[in-house]
Chains A and B, each alone.
Chain A
Amino acid sequence: MLATGIAPDYYEINGEVVTAFINGTAYDFDLSSATEGATLDSIEPIDGVTPIRHAVRESGELKVVLAQKVGAGHWIESDYFDAATYDPSGVHVIFDETKSFAGTPMVYTKNGWLTLSQDQLTG
C-alpha cells in the first residue's frame, strides 16, 4: 500500500475484484483475467486519482499496489500484505517519526481524515 497525497478514499476487495471509491463513487476493477507475468500500469486517472498503481501476477499470485491518502508528515508505503487483512477503516501505511515536518500528521480512511496523536505516532 503506497502512501500518497492523491488516492482513492478507500477500497473494497472481493477475490480479485478491487473496488475503488473515488469522491463517493465506486469503480470496479476485475483483475482476474491477468495472466502469469502480466503487469498493469496504465489505469487512467478518475477525477485525477489513479485507482490502482500497479498489478502483476507472479507464480499465480496476484499482487496489486494500491494507495492510501496521507497528509502532513513523512509516510512510507507498506510491504505487500494479504488482501484479507485489508481494513478500509485502518491505517496501512507507516508514519516515519524520525524526520521533522510541519503540520498535523493525518491519514485518510473510510471514516474520513484520522489525525494521529503523539501516542499513536510513537506508540
Chain B
Amino acid sequence: MGYIGTQPVPKATHYLEYGVFDTPTQVINVGSGYTVNNISVVINGVTLNPDEYTATDGVTVDLGVEFDAGTSYRIEEYRTFVNAYHYTKEEADARFAKLSGANNFTQMPTVGGTPIVESGSNSDGEWTRWADGTQECRIVKDSSAFADATNKRFSVKADVTYPMPFNSVPTGRTGSVTGLTAFSYEFLCLSYIPEGFAGSTTMYASMTNGADLPSAGSVRFSGLFAGKWK
C-alpha cells in the first residue's frame, strides 16, 4: 500500500470488547482486563464520560445504574503496540549458519553438550576427538633406551602417555622411527604394547644390524593411535 507523505508508524493496537446485554446489567466484565484510565465506554452509541462509570479494578466496568437487556455496549482500549522482533539481513547473516557459502562459527557446535570436534596438543602429543566417541592421538617421542643386545639383535623402546585418555585400548602403530642413521641396521620391526586403559603405552623398535648394541644415540618414534574416548 502506498502513502502520500510519511508512512504512518503504528503505535498502538485497538482492543474492543462489545455486545448486547442479555439481561439487565450494571457491571460489565472485561474478559482480558484493561489498564485503568485507558478505556472508553460506549452505551447505545453514546460515549460515557469517565465520571459516568467506575473502572478501577482492571477487570470490571460499573455503569452506576442497571441498563435494560438489549442495550448495546462497547469497551475500547488502545494498547501499546508491540514491534515485531526481527533481525536485519546483516544481523541474520551474522547470527545464523548459511546453507550455502562459508560459515565461521565462534563456538564449536555440540551434540548432547559435546563439541562435534575438539583438538589440541600438549606435552604428550597431538589429539583430535569427535562427538561420536572417536579419538586419534599422534605421538612423537625421543628415546635412547637401547636394550636386548643379544644375537646381534637389539631394541629400543619409548614409554609414552597418550595426550588424551582413551576409555579402552586403542588400535595403533608405531608409524616411523628416525635417528637410526648413526648406525646401520638390516631389519627393523616396529610395534607397540598397549598397557591397559590408563592412557599409556610402550613403542618398540627391534633391529638387527650384525653389530653390537649402540652405546649412544637417540631414536625418534612416531605413533598414531585411534580408539574411543567415550
Q: Contact residues of A with B, CB < 8 Å? A: 2-6, 45, 47-50, 67, 70-77, 93, 99, 101-105
> Known interface pairs A48-B196, A48-B199, A74-B121. Does A5 touch B115 (Cβ–Cβ under 8 Å)?
no
Bound CA span A48–B189, Å: 28
Judging by beta carbons under 8 Å apart, are A6 and B123 in contact? no
Bound CA span A104–B109, Å: 11
Cβ of B117 under 8 Å from chain A: yes
Judging by beta carbons under 8 Å apart, are A103 and B115 in contact? yes
Cβ of B165 under 8 Å from chain A: yes
Bound CA span A50–B107, Å: 32
In the bound complex, residues from chain B placing their C-beta under 8 Å from that of A93 are 122
Judging by beta carbons under 8 Å apart, are B115 and A104 in contact? yes
Judging by beta carbons under 8 Å apart, are A49 and B163 in contact? no
Known: A5-B164, A75-B121, A76-B122. 18 other contacts (CB 8 A): A2-B123, A3-B123, A4-B122, A48-B197, A48-B199, A67-B123, A70-B120, A70-B122, A72-B115, A73-B120, A75-B123, A101-B121, A102-B117, A103-B108, A103-B117, A103-B120, A104-B108, A105-B120
In the bound complex, residues from chain B placing their C-beta under 8 Å from that of A75 are 120-123
Nearest CB of chain A from residue B223's CB, rounded to whole Å: 15
B114 and chain A: residue at smallest CB distance? A103
* Contact among B107, B108, B115, B165 with A48 in the assembled complex (CB-CB below 8 Å): B165
In the bound complex, residues from chain A placing their C-beta under 8 Å from that of B128 are 102
In the bound complex, residues from chain B placing their C-beta under 8 Å from that of A3 are 122-123
* Contact among A6, A70, A99, A102 with B108 in the assembled complex (CB-CB below 8 Å): A102
Nearest CB of chain B from residue A112's CB, rounded to whole Å: 16
Cβ of B132 under 8 Å from chain A: no
Bound CA span A4–B198, Å: 13
Bound CA span A61–B118, Å: 39
* Contact among A2, A5, A45, A49 with B127 in the assembled complex (CB-CB below 8 Å): A5
Nearest CB of chain B from residue A54's CB, rounded to whole Å: 11
* Contact among A67, A70, A101 with B119 in the assembled complex (CB-CB below 8 Å): A101
Cβ of B60 under 8 Å from chain A: no
* Contact among B119, B162, B163 with A103 in the assembled complex (CB-CB below 8 Å): B119
In the bound complex, residues from chain A placing their C-beta under 8 Å from that of B124 are 2, 4-6
Kindly list the 7 A-B residue pairs having the minimum CB-CB distance in the complex, ordered from nearest. Answer: A48-B198, A103-B118, A5-B164, A2-B123, A3-B122, A102-B117, A72-B118
Nearest CB of chain B from residue A81's CB, rounded to whole Å: 15
Bound CA span A2–B124, Å: 8
Bound CA span A104–B105, Å: 12
What mask results when residues 117 to 142 of chain B are scored 1 for a CB within 8 Å of chain A, else 0? 11111111001100000000000000
What mask results when residues 67 to 83 of chain B are scored 1 for a CB within 8 Å of chain A, else 0? 00000000000000000
